[in-house]
Chains A and B, each alone.
Chain A
Amino acid sequence: MALQEVCHFYDSVPSSSEHSPVALALEGCCAEYRSAKVGHSLPVFYLPVMKSQPVCQPWKTINLSTMPSSTSSVKSFMLAEESKRPFDLSHGTTTLSFKFQGGVIAAADTRSSCAKKVECPSSQKIIPIHSHLVGTTSGTSADCTLWKRILSYKCRLYQLQNKRTLTVRGTAKLLSGALFPFKGTELCVAATLCGWDHTGPALYYVYSDGTCLEGDLFSVGSGSPYAYSILDREYHFDMSVDEAYCLARRAVYHATHRDAYSGGNVDLYHVTKEGWRKIEDRADYTSLEG
């Protein structure tokens, strides 16, 4: 891309596999790699497009002409976006994230609710920002997806202007600072940024009222108290990777069981030194025994 050449800043070519991000500026060019402060490769930015997605995509622009007109779920989703909200938005979600010896885990349910109805049973609540950072979203899903995209572009701009990547701490501060002017308005974004930078695994909680906290374990959303009780009991930093996956899924499941506004399936992402990875396609865990 032109800006990259002007800034003399070239990304490395990432490995292509089903679940890893595709570099925004690939276009066949594989120029010299300039390393950042640390040894591992720079995060790559991308426009999130994944194969075999469900119809309801909060963050994907829906091209009506290509959508089959009989998809009533799409229509109801679009209606929910366009209306002037004569009703209260209910912010129903369970998302959780924690650090452990093997990286950072982010897990979330997939139910989008609006006006006490389930608008979308299979929405994406974990959004990748760049190859080494994902963010869980809670609050108003439209606000969250918009601000995640804004964060993505701000991170990329910083990377091009300063020839180094923002740490997760810097990204959290950037998001927090961008949201602060909207404090007191109806904007509601409660995100946890889960990433890996040169300091190792990093986890930050950012809320649109201005809170920006660093921690080892966070759960956000209406179902979070239920998830916290499971997590507080079984979490420890030295868990194995399988134990961590199991704990994350179990905590979300218990929250979806009790909380009316959480439900659907469990999305699970694992961030390591090599980047983020979605663990597997959604399976129905509603029958998971506690």
Chain B
Amino acid sequence: MEYLIGIQGPDFVLVAADTVAASSIIQMKHDYDKMFKLSEKILLLCVGEAGDTVQFAEYIQKNVQLYKMRNGYELSPDAAANFTRKNLADYLRSRTPYHVNLLLAGYDDHDGPALYYMDYLSSLAKAPFAAHGYGAFLTLSILDRYYKPDESVEFILNLPAFNVRLIDKHGIKDLEKLPLATTSTS
């Protein structure tokens, strides 16, 4: 099951996603990237039904980039999140709804870091931390217990085989990927 997590800090947002692309019982890919870069400081994390994720995320990505080309400045994370939600909502009651769960993480130069939780029913919530997937059941309570708004980066994140990225005022940064411990083969 696919997993996404996002945590907002005082001046950054930390996001992580698992890297498995599976088809029923088979892992087709171990290094699949579920994050889509909407702009220099906005990331969209997308999980859900197989084709819907890429099609929807790329559609949003291209539209956000088009906005910048047309108007000369980038959409803010708040605007991008609402735009995404509107598209999800428009398709929800059509014949082809998109079954995708999203996290949108961004850094606005005026308003600071922002993390938005969206699900396939096009609900939108700005949250200090959020997660999708079965893993969310396990991690949300940890975050409820230990999260403090002014924590710094060291909080996180000993995650094996995850893509971890940090967004702050300098942009998007890839954090070191910790590999799964492998047993030696005979």
Q: Interface of A with B (CB < 8 Å)? A: 176, 180, 183-184, 205, 207, 209-213, 215, 218, 224-225, 228
Contacts and interface: CB of A to CB of B under 8 A. Distances in A.
A213 B55 contact: no
Interface of chain B, main secondary structure: mixed
Given A180-B51, A211-B21, 11 more contacts: A183-B96, A209-B51, A210-B49, A210-B54, A211-B23, A211-B50, A211-B51, A211-B54, A213-B28, A215-B28, A218-B28
Contacts of B96: 183-184
B26 A210 contact: no
Interface residues of B, number: 14
Contacts of B32: 213
B69 interface: no
B55 A207 contact: no
A210 B52 contact: yes
A205 B55 contact: no
5 contacts: A180-B55, A207-B50, A210-B51, A211-B51, A224-B26
Nearest to A176: B51
A212 to B, nearest CB: 7
Contacts of B25: 225
B28 A210 contact: no
B26 A225 contact: yes
Contact of B23 (A176, A180, A183, A207): A207
Interface in B31-54: 32, 49-52, 54
A210 B23 contact: no
A287 B15 CA distance: 52
A210 B100 CA distance: 13
B55 A210 contact: yes
B177 interface: no
A210 B50 contact: yes
Contact of B51 (A183, A205, A218, A228): A183
